[in-house]
Chains A and B, each alone.
Chain A
């Protein structure tokens, strides 16, 4: 890919976020935060010996 092609491609109009992408982002963050909270609770009740 030449520099010219790369520049033109990266300047092309933005594609809007599809509902499935919003779902992917939302579910990832939701599950991620929930798991981190769960792990933090486990961490609290099972301290390092």
Chain B
């Protein structure tokens, strides 16, 4: 079983390029942050936003060593640094750096302004004590990570009300790149969090294996059956659709399309649906998790990882869920350590990602040997599994192992501070991801003639099956497991 037809697509090649860039940027940021363990603080100028009532006091540098920069100085420095690094990066991918720089400037301004608005006390303050502290009588209680929702809504407004403007921004609308950099940075953050409770962390990793089984063997088979039997889709449409709904959205749909030699338009159309539904999930599921699962925080986190498709939407939704669930628990007097929920969501998602190449190979083998048998078909080898392996996962592993080794080696509070500085950039890449996902979400596509039937399969599978089975499995494996308490 060593030969099968697999045709790497142009988009697949580009994705691999983005993976490499994500690893370089993410690991580079972490290395610069870790230099502070030996003395100089190289990243302390990164901008951070506090919950505010006086906008003049909202922004500041993450390190006190750079307090003289002021909020505006920190913001400008952060923007210039990201502009230079990312422009050079996309130029290396073959894009036009000047076009990217212009579009990125606008994207950064709108995205960070959304984050700034989301940190307003009337939006972010959570507990009555917070409200008293900031002198506000009411609040939406979204935590300061409600800024992600604001950024997403800003992107949706741009995409649906100003489509020509959205098109003009497209060079800098790169949610996959931004979230992959963020996930690489998350590796070190999760390691430092896990190092304090290594036994708990390893137990959670073991339970993450259930996610792989569920996504590939349960979800895929059921969605494929629904698409073929109930909705009458051809194999060419049903397979990418099943992968898009079940596995990891865009990447899985494209990998499957390549594996079964679908026409390029098929996975692209499926991917556009994946993004639209992922946004709907991000806007709904974290709030459902807060309402119904706050007593089971890790069930909520695993559920988000299993239910929300695309890496960007899932990991970002995990961040929002953590904020909302922890805020509700804090209001009830329970203070969980931050980091554990997003660690579970990310682990579930990364575990699922890792097997995309293997699944694509299995489908390619079945299609070329049993469904579309052509004696003169181009043959590929097992090496395609590696070709389709999401390389940014290697960056995640590198930063995780480095962070864990340093934490277990006794680097202590200095390491936490260094990783905290790197985490500031993770937050910024999350904001860029949310805004970019919004800009890519054109709801008018759902009204496009013909797509309604595809959307119906997605709707029935996602809301009738995927999120409920995901909830049951998450409950089965994570119920009763709580994150450690602060202190």
- Name A residues whose Cβ lies closer than 8 Å to a Cβ of B: 1, 3-4, 6-7, 9-10, 12-15, 17-18, 20-21, 24-26, 28-29, 31-33, 35-36, 39-40, 42-43, 46, 48-49
* Shortest Cβ distance from residue A25 to the other chain B in the assembled complex, whole angstroms: 5
Q: What A residues does B224 contact at CB under 8 A? A: 21, 24-25
- When chains A and B are docked, how far (Å) is the Cα of A26 from the Cα of B88? 49
- When chains A and B are docked, how far (Å) is the Cα of A13 from the Cα of B231? 11
Pair B210/A28 contact, Cβ less than 8 Å: no
Q: What A residues does B235 contact at CB under 8 A? A: 15, 21
Q: What B residues does A48 contact at CB under 8 A? A: 200, 203-204, 207, 480-481
Q: What B residues does A13 contact at CB under 8 A? A: 232
Partner of B206 from the list A12, A17, A42 (CB cut-off 8 Å) is A42
Partner of B233 from the list A10, A40, A46 (CB cut-off 8 Å) is A10
Residue of B nearest to A18 (CB): B371
- When chains A and B are docked, how far (Å) is the Cα of A42 from the Cα of B208? 13
Q: Given that A25-B224, A28-B220, A32-B213 are contacting pairs, would A17 and B229 also be in contact in the complex, using a CB cutoff of 8 Å?
A: yes
* Shortest Cβ distance from residue A3 to the other chain B in the assembled complex, whole angstroms: 4
Q: What A residues does B233 contact at CB under 8 A? A: 10, 14
* Shortest Cβ distance from residue A10 to the other chain B in the assembled complex, whole angstroms: 5
Chain B residues numbered 186-217 whose CB sits less than 8 Å from any CB in chain A = 199-200, 203-204, 206-207, 209-210, 213-214, 216-217
Pair A28/B217 contact, Cβ less than 8 Å: yes
Pair A40/B203 contact, Cβ less than 8 Å: no
Pair A14/B232 contact, Cβ less than 8 Å: yes
* B269 in the interface (beta carbon within 8 A): yes
- When chains A and B are docked, how far (Å) is the Cα of A49 from the Cα of B201? 10
Partner of A29 from the list B206, B217, B232, B366 (CB cut-off 8 Å) is B217
Q: What B residues does A18 contact at CB under 8 A? A: 370-371
Pair B450/A49 contact, Cβ less than 8 Å: no
Partner of B218 from the list A12, A32, A49 (CB cut-off 8 Å) is A32
Additional A-B contact list (11), CB under 8 Å, known A4-B449, A43-B206? A3-B450, A9-B450, A14-B234, A17-B229, A18-B370, A32-B214, A35-B213, A35-B217, A40-B476, A40-B477, A46-B203
Pair B207/A49 contact, Cβ less than 8 Å: no
Residue of A nearest to B207 (CB): A43
For the residues of A in contact with B, the DSSP-based class is: helix
Pair B221/A39 contact, Cβ less than 8 Å: no
Q: What B residues does A26 contact at CB under 8 A? A: 221
Pair B221/A32 contact, Cβ less than 8 Å: yes
Pair B217/A6 contact, Cβ less than 8 Å: no
* Shortest Cβ distance from residue B362 to the other chain A in the assembled complex, whole angstroms: 9
Pair A17/B213 contact, Cβ less than 8 Å: no
Partner of A36 from the list B200, B229, B473 (CB cut-off 8 Å) is B473
Partner of B213 from the list A6, A20, A39, A46 (CB cut-off 8 Å) is A39
Q: What B residues does A42 contact at CB under 8 A? A: 206
Q: What B residues does A10 contact at CB under 8 A? A: 233, 237, 450, 453-454
Q: What A residues does B64 contact at CB under 8 A? A: none
Q: What A residues does B80 contact at CB under 8 A? A: none
Q: What B residues does A20 contact at CB under 8 A? A: 366, 370-371
* B459 in the interface (beta carbon within 8 A): no
Pair B265/A15 contact, Cβ less than 8 Å: no
Q: Given that A7-B450, A18-B371, A43-B476 are contacting pairs, would A33 and B221 also be in contact in the complex, using a CB cutoff of 8 Å?
A: no
Residue of A nearest to B199 (CB): A49
Name 18 interchain pairs, CB-CB below 8 A, sorted by A: A3-B448, A6-B451, A7-B449, A10-B450, A10-B453, A12-B234, A14-B233, A14-B234, A15-B235, A18-B370, A24-B366, A25-B225, A28-B218, A32-B216, A39-B207, A39-B209, A40-B476, A46-B206
Pair A1/B200 contact, Cβ less than 8 Å: no
Q: What A residues does B199 contact at CB under 8 A? A: 49
* B222 in the interface (beta carbon within 8 A): yes
Q: What A residues does B237 contact at CB under 8 A? A: 10
- When chains A and B are docked, how far (Å) is the Cα of A4 from the Cα of B480? 53
Pair A24/B221 contact, Cβ less than 8 Å: yes
Q: What A residues does B214 contact at CB under 8 A? A: 32, 36
Q: Please, what's the 1-or-0 string for B462-479, where 1 marks a CB less than 8 Å from any CB in chain A?
A: 000000000001001100
Q: What A residues does B203 contact at CB under 8 A? A: 46, 48-49
Q: What A residues does B209 contact at CB under 8 A? A: 39
- When chains A and B are docked, how far (Å) is the Cα of A18 from the Cα of B228? 11
- When chains A and B are docked, how far (Å) is the Cα of A48 from the Cα of B482? 10
Partner of A33 from the list B216, B218, B269 (CB cut-off 8 Å) is B218
Residue of B nearest to A29 (CB): B221
Q: Please, what's the 1-or-0 string for B433-474, where 1 marks a CB less than 8 Å from any CB in chain A?
A: 000000000000000111101100000000000000000010
* Shortest Cβ distance from residue B213 to the other chain A in the assembled complex, whole angstroms: 5
Residue of B nearest to A6 (CB): B450
Partner of B477 from the list A6, A21, A43 (CB cut-off 8 Å) is A43
Q: Given that A28-B220, A29-B221, A49-B199 are contacting pairs, would A17 and B228 also be in contact in the complex, using a CB cutoff of 8 Å?
A: yes
Q: What A residues does B228 contact at CB under 8 A? A: 14-15, 17, 21
